[in-house]
Structure 1
Amino acid sequence: MNVLVVDDAAFMRTLVRMFLEQMGHTVIGEAQNGKEAVDLYGRLKPDLVTMDITMPEMDGLEAVKRIKSANPGAKIIMCSAMGQQRVVMEAIRSGASDFVVKPIQKERLQEAVEKLFAGQGTKVGVL
């Protein structure tokens, strides 16, 4: 599947890209903030987005809202070091399909992707 990776940290984009490619997916784009993510989503129409929360210009929560508003079927997995229940619930309310806490582990990312595309993802407890 085609994936858009969004994170302001280049090393984190590289790590997520590596994990996704090891799983057999293709990263078709990378963005370093929410504004770029919204723009790239509109142009690339990826099957999946991995999205950080805390980023400059536009945070991940606002980017998710904008992407989901224009593309209700968008599949977005939030990836953030902020794993408190309040933050997770805010991400889900914004339209995220799942939430993976950093430091990202390949197994947890793979589980989130598989659940989402097996039709079981969205609004699941991850803590």
Structure 2
Amino acid sequence: MVKVKLISERLKKAKSRQQPYSDVRRRKLEFNVEAWVYMKISPTKNVMRFDKNRNLSAWYLGPYQILRRIGKVAYELELPNNLAWLHPVIHVSFLKNCLRDLTTIVPLKGLRVKENLSYEEVLVEILDRHVWKLRNKEVAS
């Protein structure tokens, strides 16, 4: 009993010591019902990446409308039929507010998203090649 009390006290002490560092990056996100949001499709770098060059890969899908709020940190989205296999309740950390005009949205009909939120890339032919000669090396582009 004494050991359990000692362990819980030390855990509380460690938590209070580490809490300010975690609060620096944490931000409180809240969205209104019927608002439009983007859904993050690349939550981690190594698990669900679309492309080797992550700067050019898609990070968000959408926008989708919020149907209702579930608890403090989850929202139910109105997903299209091609994403019916995906659960509509999404954590707030995977959502981003849509600030653009909804009339300028381009539909992603040609993009076939798989169940692991990835897509197949189509290779293109390189028509021209140029080699830049630097001081110590040559760089092809």
Task: Indicate the structure with greater helix content.
Answer: 1
Based on CA coordinates, which of the two structures has the bigger radius of gyration?
2
> Would you tell me which structure has more strand in proportion to its own residues?
2
TM-score (norm 2): 0.22
TM-score by length of 1: 0.24
